[in-house]
A and B are shown apart, each in its own frame.
Chain A
Amino acid sequence: MNPGIDLQQRFTETLTSFNIPSGAAKAIWMPVPMLLMIFGATVGVLVSVWLERKISAAAQQRIGPEFIGPLGILAPVADGIKLIFKEDVVPANSDPWLFTLGPAIVVIPVFLSYLIVPFGENLLVSNVGIGIFLWISLSSIVPIGLLMSGYSSNNKYSLLGGLRAAAQSISYEIPLALAVLAIAMMSNSLSTVDIVEQQSGYGILGWNVWRQPIGLLLFWVSALAECERIPFDLPEAEEEIVAGYQTEYSGMKFALFYLGSYVNLVLSSLLVAVLYFGGWDFPIPIEQLAKLLHISPDNPILQVATASLGITMTLLKAYFFLFLAILMRWTVPRVRIDQLLDLGWKFLLPVGLVNLLVTAGLKLAFPFAFGG
C-alpha cells in the first residue's frame, strides 16, 4: 500500500523551510484539521439542507428554493444567517444555565465524531485505535443534552420530547453497536481505516454489503432512529408535542439543534458508506491500473487524483444514503412510541444478536471470506 499524501508532514516541512521551529510548526498545524473538520461538517450540512429541500420539493412535484442563488443553493445560508441574527429568547422560569448548556452538549459530540471519518488512507483527522467505538460512545452523550434542554425549558412538551429522545437514543444504540460489532469482528479492528482497507481489493464484490446485508439494514434503521429522522422523529413530532425539546428554543440555540441533527445525518450516511460500501474505495482498482501503465505510486499527480477520487467516492456513497433518508421521509408515516420501542427491542435487538452469532460462525467456518 502506498503512503498517499501526508498533509501534516508537508505542512510542517513547508513551515520549517520558512525558519519556523518545528515545535511551533506542529502547534500551528494542530488547529488546522479541527477547523477543517468543523468547516467541512458545516458545508456538508448546508449541502444536505439544500438537498433536503430540493428533493422534498421534487417528491411533492414542487420546485423548492429557486431564487436564492443558482437553483436556490444559498437558501440554507440565508436560513443560517437569519437564525444567527435572531433574538435569543430564554423562557421565564426556565433554568438559564442548563437551557444554554443543552444545545452545546448535543452538538459537540456529533462534531467530534467526525474525527474518525476517513476520506482516504491518510485523509482523516485522527486514526484512533478505537475508531468506530469512539463514535458509538460519543453519540451516547447526546441524550444527556436532550434531557437537559427538555428539563430546563419549563415546558411539558419539551420534557416529554427530551424523555422520548433519550429513550429512543439509548434503545437504538444497542442494535447499532451490534451491527458495528459484526463489522469489527470481520475486519479484526475497530479502526475505520482498517475496516475500509479490509473491504478494498475486490472492487464492488469486496464491500461489506454482500457479507452483512442484515447488518446494513440494522445499522441504517438504527442510524435513522438515532438521527431522529422520519419515521422515527417522535421526539419532535410536531402534531403531538409541538417540537419536543426544541419547542422553547430560538435563534442560535435552535440553530445548534438543527445543525446537530443534520451533521448527525451526514455522519451516519458517511459511516454507512465507510462500514458497508467500501468508503473511499473505487470499484476499479486505480493502483493496479497505475502499475500496468508504469506510473510510480509516488507520482504526485496520481496521488492527488486518488485522493480526490477517494473523497468523491466517499461523499457520493454517503449522499446516496442521505437521499434515501430524504425519500424515506416522504414515504413512511411516523411510528408510535410503543411501536418504536417494540421495533428496537423485540425486532432489531434479537436480529442483531443472531446476525452477530452467524457472522462469528461464518468467520470460523470460512476465514478467507469473512476475515479469519
Chain B
Amino acid sequence: MNLGEGVQFVSFIVLAVMMIGAALGVVLFEKIVYSAFLLGAVFMSIAGLYVLQNADFVAAAQILIYVGAVNVLILFAIMLVNKKEDYVPVAGRWIRKAAAAFVSAGLFALLTTMLLRTDWKIDLSVPLPSLPIEVMGEHFFSDFLLPFELASVLLLMALIGAVVLARKETIMGEETAIVGETPAPVLELPERPREPVA
C-alpha cells in the first residue's frame, strides 16, 4: 500500500463513519436544529466520497445544491418557525409505527440484495474521459434529456407555487379606522382576499 492508497483508505473510513454517525444523529436527535445541521454533515461526507471516486464535479455540485441550498432552506424554515407544540398521543399510532417499520425493513432488504447481487468489478479497459464535465453535458442533452427537462419543469412548478403561496397583496390608501369604532390592528395593512387559483 503506497501513500496515495493509504490516504484514500483512511479518508474513506473517516468519511463513512462520519456519514453513518451523522445520519443516525439526524434521525435520533430530539432537537430538530441538530438534525438539520447533521443533515449538512451527511451531505458533506457524501461529497467527500464523490471526491474519493474522482468525481469532483459531482462533489462540488452536491455541496452547492444540497449543502448550500437545500440544507440552508431547511434551516431557514426551522429558524423562522417559532411554534411550540406538545405531542398529542395519536390513536392507532401503532399502525403508523408498524407501517414505517415495514417500509424500512423492505427498503433495507431491497438494498441488501442489490448490494449482494451487483457485480462491483470495474472494467478498467475503458479509459476515463479526459473532461468529465463535457461527457456529462453530452449525456444531459442526449440520452438523459427527458429527466433533465422534467427536473427543470418540476423546479419551475415549485417556483411558481412558492410565488403563489408567498404572494400577499395589501390594499393601500384606504380609510380603515373610524372614530368610535374598533380600530384596525396597527402596523398591519389589510390584506386583499385571495381568489382561489383556478
Contact = CB atoms under 8 A, between A and B. Distances in A.
B131 A141 contact: no
A151 B79 contact: yes
Q: What size tier do the contact residues of chain B reach?
A: 20 to 34
A130 B60 contact: yes
Contacts of A141: 44, 63, 67-68
Contacts of A162: 79
B63 A129 contact: no
B64 interface: yes
B79 A138 contact: no
Contacts of A27: 3
B1 to A, nearest CB: 11
B2 A163 contact: no
Given A26-B3, A129-B133, A144 B37 contact: yes
A98 B60 CA distance: 24
Contacts of B132: 129
Interface in B32-68: 33, 37, 40, 44, 56-57, 60-61, 63-64, 67-68
Contacts of B164: none
A147 B72 contact: yes
Residue with the greatest number of chain A CB neighbours at <10 A, chosen from B2, B60, B69, B133: B60
Contacts of A190: 133
B75 interface: yes
A136 B64 contact: yes
B75 A144 contact: yes
A166 interface: yes
B76 interface: yes
Contacts of A196: none
B64 A140 contact: yes
Residue with the greatest number of chain B CB neighbours at <10 A, chosen from A129, A133, A137, A143: A137
A144 B72 contact: yes
B137 to A, nearest CB: 12
A363 to B, nearest CB: 15
B107 to A, nearest CB: 28
Interface in A159-174: 159, 162-163, 166-167, 170, 173
A173 B60 CA distance: 14
Contacts of A26: 3
A98 B38 CA distance: 11
A148 interface: yes
B57 A140 contact: no
A128 interface: yes
A311 interface: no
Contacts of B71: 144
Interface of A: 23, 26-27, 98, 128-130, 133-134, 136-138, 140-141, 143-144, 147-148, 150-151, 159, 162-163, 166-167, 170, 173, 190
